[in-house]
Chains A and B, each alone.
Chain A
Amino acid sequence: MNSAISFFYFLSFLTVLSAVMVVVSRNPIHSVLYLILTFFTLSGHYILLNAQFLAAVNIIVYAGAIMVLFLFVIMFLNMKQDNEESKTNLTKIAATIVGGTVFVILFGAYRKSIIPAFDPQQFDSQIGMIENLGHLLFRDYLLPFELVSILLLVAMVGAVMLGKREIGERHF
Chain B
Amino acid sequence: MDLTEFLIKTATIFVVFVLTLVIAMYSTWGERKVAGFIQDRMGPNRAGPGGLLQPLADAGKMFFKEDFIPALANKWLFIAGPSLAMLTALLASAVIPFGSTFRINGHEVALQGVESNIGILYVFGVVALGVYGIMVGGWASNNKFSLLGAIRAASQNISYEVAMGLSLIAILMMSSSLSLGEIVAQQHGGNWNIFYQPLGFIIFITCSFAECNRVPFDLPECETELVGGYHTEYGSMKLGFYLFAEYINMFISSAIISVLYFGGYNYPGMDWVYSQLTQAFGTETGHNAATLIGTAVFFGKALFFIFFYMWVRWTIPRFRYDQLMNLGWKKLIPLAIFNIIITGAAVLFLKPLVTAWLN
Q: Which residues of A contact B (CB under 8 A)?
A: 27, 29, 33, 36, 52-53, 55-57, 59-60, 63-65, 68-69, 71-72, 75-76, 129-131
Contacts and interface: CB of A to CB of B under 8 A. Distances in A.
Contacts of B151: 72, 75-76
Contact of B135 (A60, A64, A75): A75
A56 B129 contact: no
Contacts of A52: 116-118
Given A57-B121, A60-B121, A75 B116 contact: no
A68 B125 contact: no
Given A52-B116, A52-B118, A72-B154, A60 B124 contact: yes
A37 B307 CA distance: 36
B117 A129 contact: yes
B135 A71 contact: yes
Given A29-B74, A71-B135, A130-B178, 13 more contacts: A29-B77, A29-B139, A33-B77, A56-B124, A56-B125, A60-B125, A63-B128, A64-B128, A64-B131, A65-B158, A68-B158, A75-B135, A130-B118
B129 A63 contact: yes
Q: How large is the interface on B (under 10, 10 to 19, 20 to 34, 35 or more residues)?
A: 20 to 34
A71 B81 CA distance: 14
A70 B124 CA distance: 20
B97 to A, nearest CB: 17
Contact of B132 (A27, A36, A57): A36
Interface in B84-125: 116-118, 121-122, 124-125
Nearest to A27: B74
B128 A65 contact: yes
A53 B158 CA distance: 21
Interface string B223-257: 00000000000000000000000000000000000
Given A63-B129, A130-B178, A56 B135 contact: no
A53 B154 contact: no
B118 A64 contact: no
Nearest to A75: B139
A60 B118 contact: no
B24 interface: no
A79 B154 CA distance: 20
Nearest to A63: B129
B260 interface: no
Contacts of B77: 29, 33
A131 B117 CA distance: 9
B317 to A, nearest CB: 25
Interface in B145-181: 147, 150-151, 154-155, 158, 161, 178
Q: Which of B116, B118, B150, B155 has the most CB of A within 10 A?
A: B118
A36 B128 CA distance: 13
Contacts of B129: 59, 63-64
18 contacts: A33-B136, A53-B121, A55-B118, A56-B121, A56-B122, A56-B124, A60-B124, A63-B129, A64-B125, A64-B128, A65-B128, A68-B128, A68-B132, A68-B135, A68-B154, A71-B135, A72-B154, A75-B139
A28 to B, nearest CB: 11
A27 B75 CA distance: 13
Contacts of A72: 135, 151, 154-155
A130 B125 contact: no
Contacts of B161: 64-65
B344 to A, nearest CB: 14
B128 A53 contact: no
B326 to A, nearest CB: 15
Nearest to B162: A65
Contacts of B136: 29, 33
A76 to B, nearest CB: 8
B259 to A, nearest CB: 17
Nearest to A36: B132
Contacts of A53: 118, 121
